[in-house]
């Protein structure tokens, strides 16, 4: 049982690192996009940035849900 809890905690730590990296990438990409929009550079890269931001937000949501699920799994043990 203790080994199972340690395994879940390790998975949680990995998911938290991934969450942090995704959040940092989303902030960086959002800043870049805002800078491009303020410079009136509405080109293909701006649209790629916007699609990337929404993709990162979806990935953040998925990782957050997995963290929530693993946290509940620890509670149930």
pLDDT for the residue numbered 11:
96
* Residue-level pLDDT at 59: 98
* Residue 4, in any domain of the structure: no
Please indicate, yes or no, if residue 2 is contained in any of the structural domains. Answer: no
Query: Would 39 be classed as within a structural domain?
Result: yes
- Asked if residue 9 lies in contact with residue 74, where contact means CB atoms within 8 angstroms, the answer is yes
Can you give the pLDDT at residue 62?
98
pTM of the model: 0.86
Q: Give domain status of residue 8, yes or no.
A: no
Is residue 31 in some structural domain? yes
pLDDT in 10s for each residue of the chain, 77 residues: 788 999 999 999 999 999 999 999 999 999 999 999 999 999 999 999 999 999 999 999 999 999 999 999 988 87
Helix (H, G, I), strand (E, B) or coil at 1: coil
Number of domains the chain contains? 1
Domain presence at residue 1: no
What pLDDT score was predicted for residue 65?
A: 97
Can you spell out the DSSP letters for 20-47?
Answer: HHHHHHHHHHHHHHHHHHHTT--SHHHH
Q: Decide if 51 is inside a domain.
A: yes
Query: Range of 57's domain?
Result: 22-76
Residue 10 lies inside a defined structural domain of this protein: no
């Amino acid at each position: 049982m203790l080994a199972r809890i340690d395994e879940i905690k390790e998975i949680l730590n990995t998911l938290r690192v991934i969450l942090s990296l995704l959040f940092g990438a989303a902030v960086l990409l959002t800043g870049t996009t805002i800078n491009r929009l303020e410079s009136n550079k509405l080109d293909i890269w701006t649209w790629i940035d916007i699609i990337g931001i929404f993709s990162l937000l979806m990935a953040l949501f998925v990782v957050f849900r997995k963290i929530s699920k693993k946290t509940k799994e620890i509670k149930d043990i």
